Amino acid sequence: MKILITGANGQLGRDCLAAFAERHPVVGVDLPHIDITEPAHVERILAEESPDAIVNCAAFTRVDDCETRRDAAWRTNALGPGILAGACGNALLAHVSTDYVFDGERTPPEPYAETDATNPQSWYGATKLEGEQRVRASATRWLILRTAWLYGFHGRNFPKTMLRLARREPSKPRRVVADQFGCPTWSATLARQIVALVESGRTGLFHTVAEGHTTWHDFARCFLDAMGVAHCIEPCGMADYPLPARRPRNSILANARLHTEGVARMADWRADVERFAALHRNALLSEADTQP
């Protein structure tokens, strides 16, 4: 099975490249080699590579920037997936989506399942939901994979930011939101789950997040403790940090269909954080200590 990964230079894309390469021929493409919002680019790459499956990791994920750069976000998150879906023929299209398609108003810890109604409250969420709908409408064979609170070794993310701040001033109090709930998901584990789903031949909608849930505050503490780094993390509320894009207060997703169909590969969020820290500790510390 030949795999094509779009958005291959990103956090998840790079982990997908590594995970698929262990078992399949895989090609990774990203800007400027391919722009998924340009039909000619997409058609040329698909004709050249003739993949059996396409994993779309390309996305405009800067949530607050989506509110001001609406056209760019729409093109990447909505238009692009639709173009891929319309051009992929009989190849499977696995498209990565988000918890932001839900409004987050459900009382924690009640999770959202694949069958629950969507109601995005931000432009990012709205564009990602439209991307889902275009994939459903145009692809012959499709997977939609909703994930949340993604972190990994590559690129910028929440735990890396907290590590950099803690290393710079370990005794300085850092206030982190403690009333927003979700499932911190390691991109390397998600990549292995995507491999398993693509290999299984299944299609349709799946939630793919780490098992269990926590808050940003406890996520930060767990990661810094696992790294053995001194810190001073204090809880605060979402109201203390108003941002341009509205965040779901409850981003807890249930991997209901993964379990029902016996294809679950996701791990407990805390166990994954500890494994992530153990595997990458030296490199993460070096990066944190050299970044401005």
Active site residues: 124
Query: How far is 41 from 37, CA to CA, in rounded Å?
Result: 8
- With 0-12 / 13-18 / 19 or more C-beta atoms within 10 angstroms meaning exposed / middle / buried, residue 117 is exposed
Half-sphere exposure of 146 (CA within 13 A, CB side): 30
Query: How far is 27 from 3, CA to CA, in rounded Å?
Result: 6
- Return the beta strands (E) in 48-207 as ranges: 53-56, 92-98, 141-147, 150-151, 174-177, 181-182, 185-186, 204-207
Angle at alpha carbon of residue 212, lines to 131 and 210, rounded to 5°: 45
Query: How far is 80 from 68, CA to CA, in rounded Å?
Result: 19
With H, G, I as helix, E, B as strand and everything else as coil, classify residue 10.
coil
The one-letter code for the residue type at 270 is R
DSSP 290: H
What six digits make up the tokens of 243? 């941002």
Using DSSP bridges, classify how beta strands 26-29 and 53-56 pair: parallel, antiparallel or unpaired. Answer: unpaired
Summarize the chain as % helix, strand, coil (round to 5).
Answer: 45, 15, 35
